[in-house]
Structure 1
Amino acid sequence: MVPIPRTVIHAVRAGRLEPQLPGLPDGLPPQIADAAVAPAGPAWAEHRERFALELVGDGVSGWHAPISAAVWQIISDDHAAGLIGHDAAQHRRLPYRKVTGRHRAGAHARAAASAVELACWDLASAATGRSVPDLLGGAVRPLVPAYASALGLDPTHPGAPAATAWMTGAGFWGQKWPLTKELISGGPTAVAAALVPLREAAGDGRFMVDGLGRCRLDDAIRLLPVLADLKVVFAEELLPPGSSSWARLQSMAVSVPLAAGEHAVDTHEQARLLLGRGELDVWQPDPGWSGGLAQAIRTTDLAADLGLPTFPHGAHLPAAVALAAANCRDRVPAVEYHLTVEPLRQQIYATSQTASDGQLTVRTDPGLAGPLALAYRQAFAEVIA
């Protein structure tokens, strides 16, 4: 590949963004708003102090946002110097550039590396005038199905069945509900009491649950028969991703498809889950946490070779959609769309990526997520060299 001068990085900068707004986003369907719980919002430090990463090329920039103060500090300390002179279009060379510091693993370190990688794709896309899916080899579909994440809703709320019926009627590929601490503590009886009405309200729609890594092995074993009766498409993170008990859970006589991946941020964790003793049935990488798009593509290919479908985690929706766009529906059936949090995440962008009839449109314009909203570009006046 002949280098394109505009994709060579000349400077690394960050601009301070306004904090995420508190409360629920405007415009939620009443059925969703009725059963929703207030998002963490500014109560989380990463939502109070946020930055946009900028990689400056020749007359063009690549962006990734938002990132937390801790992630920006790692980028500034360990990555910035080694990025100067790097050609963002040469994604396979990115892991071999100079990186300082001793901390290369763990959530913050991997989020920093992921932010740099995604900003490189954005810069290469803007500089070449080609969409990110095109740079990944070409989009194989213009629309990507989304499944509705109801993790911001209370499954025990009286209005939860109405929310469930709305999701099915809205055309989502499926819907996913949380196993809250209270439900797990209450055991199978409490879980069944809360989720059976939701499963019935979903009708023929696909139904999933997310344990959020909160179950102990004995909790998860007791819940498996209930989840099997609910005919869940998959049960996500019943155990923490680093648990050594996944194989034990998979060996139980009750068959429930098991999913994980979003919190397997380091490559050795990803390899262990995918190449272990058949622990998983569904793979769920997050390109913004697990090393970027190139690594997500590698693990998606490996999952496909092992017969596992990939459902990208939705914390970085533009990257998840780009990943899905470059894969057929058998490999990536759907991506996660968080009903109450995603609109808050997208307030920083000029245009929102929302689900219509349960599907997300693949970007054909340059840029991974599109430009920042005018209000946030104005707030970008504070630039950190």
Structure 2
Amino acid sequence: MPTRTVPAPARTAASLTVIRGVRAWQLSPQPAGLPYGLPESLAAAASELPAGPAWAEHRTRFAIELVGDGISGWQAPVGETVAQIIVDDLAAGLIGHDAAAPRRLAYRKKTGRHRSGAHARQAASAVELACWDLASRATRVSVTALLGGTVRHTVPAYASALGLDPAHPAAPEAAAWITKSGFWGQKWPLTKQLIHAGPGAVAKALTPIRQAAGECRFMVDGLGRCRLDEAMRLLPVLADLQVAFAEELLPPGSWSWHRLRAAGAGVPLAAGEHAVDEAEQVRLLAGGGVDVWQVDPGWSGGLARSLHTTELAADLGMATFPHGDRLPAALALAGACCRDKIPAVEWHLTLEPLRQQIFSGSVRVEGGRLAVRSVPGLTEVPRLPEKTPVLEVTAP
């Protein structure tokens, strides 16, 4: 991609947090296969490998750099489509923006037509998160402190067992390992095969896992795969298993979702990670559509928006469990909130270690807890295999 130059406002006073340029750097593809060092019980129960290079967004990845006066803010990884939206629609309007003023970001000039939808929101979120990173590094204050102050220095993690097969003979052993490792809870997938086989098959597969989990909280994720009739028949089984919440048995906000919500059966329903637009977020929260809120700072519009919906959920009596796609941002959010608002964040057992490989230092779970970053920067600086950016937009 060629270098472009756009007009910049006159500099009246030097500011480390003012954006002078936007760069995109290509990253290495996500590795294929399971992460190195995965415990044998987890590896044995793995039903599918993390997508790695099989998914375009994992194969062609970029780091976004917002260049200030001698310091930069980063966000990574982003897929090629998201990077292109940042380049085409957002980059020119970022020149001259003060990264320390997140509420002004929405009013910067946009040069394209992408305004809504998942990719547009991911692009806006990536820019917002990079602004927090730049502001934190420039001011030498942690992101959590910038969000209003650090409430806690470590946060419980719940283990996402997506990618493990609940019907595999090794699944109960994996569940026991998760409990022994100190995780706040564990979430297991409802595979298509189990859903189609009916509630009896689900009970047969999940009951040994639930027993092996012991006192560890137990959740399930339907990945939106159920039909309404299938989900309705599953509710009594999930109630018997005492699930802490059932995530996206159906597409959230749909007519079928509200029918399921009305049925109740004592099973809390969780959603929110795919509610990318503001109006959809408000409808789900204020409309009584969910019992548990799941926000993703990398999809929902960024940290400021995520904090807003977390506070709104708390006012409505709901706990928030941040989705794990942007773990460093989720940790900053959780560090600024008490445990009643955010009891735990998601740690994807087979995927998160692969995600962390792009950074010069990785986030690690210890005793089922994750450390909230106390030094400047939202994340560590990404490893850049290329010596030059594939795109650069700067002021003259």
The residue identity in structure 2 corresponding to 1:48 is R
Matched, 1:103 2:114: yes
Q: How far did 1:152 drift?
A: 1.7
The residue identity in structure 2 corresponding to 1:342 is E
Instruction: Name the TM-score, length of structure 1 as normaliser.
Output: 0.97
Whole-angstrom distance in 2 between the partners of 1:365 and 1:20: 27
Alignment of 1:46-85 (within 5 A): 46-85=57-96
Alignment of 1:1-385 (within 5 A): 5-36=15-46, 37-276=48-287, 278-372=288-382, 376-385=383-392
The residue identity in structure 2 corresponding to 1:50 is R
Identity score, percent: 68
* Native 8 Å contact 2:26 2:385 kept in 1: no
Q: How far did 1:253 drift?
A: 4.9
Q: How far did 1:39 drift?
A: 1.0
Whole-angstrom distance in 1 between the partners of 2:128 and 2:361: 22
Whole-angstrom distance in 1 between the partners of 2:325 and 2:387: 23
Q: Deviations over 1:6-41 (max 9, x none)?
A: 100000110010111111110111111111231111
* Native 8 Å contact 1:117 1:293 kept in 2: yes
Task: Provide closer, same or farther for how the CA distance between residues 366 and 161 of structure 1 changes in structure 2, counting only shifts above 3 A.
Answer: same
Q: How far did 1:342 drift?
A: 0.0
The residue identity in structure 2 corresponding to 1:212 is L
* Native 8 Å contact 1:70 1:108 kept in 2: yes
Instruction: Name the TM-score, length of structure 2 as normaliser.
Output: 0.94
* Native 8 Å contact 1:17 1:380 kept in 2: no
Unaligned runs of 5+ in 2: 1-12
Whole-angstrom distance in 1 between the partners of 2:52 and 2:314: 36
Aligned length in residues: 380
Whole-angstrom distance in 1 between the partners of 2:49 and 2:253: 29
Q: How far did 1:4 drift?
A: 7.1
Whole-angstrom distance in 2 between the partners of 1:29 and 1:47: 24
Please give the root-mean-square deviation of Cα atoms over the aligned residues, in Å: 1.3
Whole-angstrom distance in 2 between the partners of 1:378 and 1:217: 47
Q: Deviations over 1:208-233 (max 9, x none)?
A: 00001111211110100000000000
After superposing the two structures, state which structure 1 stretch, 118-127 or 93-102, moved more: 93-102
> Which protein, 1 or 2, shows the higher relative CO under an 8 Å CA cutoff with sep ≥ 6?
2
After superposing the two structures, state which structure 1 stretch, 304-313 or 29-38, moved more: 29-38
The residue identity in structure 1 corresponding to 2:341 is R
Whole-angstrom distance in 2 between the partners of 1:114 and 1:253: 34
Whole-angstrom distance in 1 between the partners of 2:333 and 2:237: 33
* Native 8 Å contact 2:218 2:243 kept in 1: yes
The residue identity in structure 2 corresponding to 1:307 is G
Unaligned runs of 5+ in 1: none
Q: How far did 1:380 drift?
A: 4.8
Q: How far did 1:379 drift?
A: 2.6
Q: Deviations over 1:77-109 (max 9, x none)?
A: 100011000000001111111122222111100
The residue identity in structure 1 corresponding to 2:292 is V
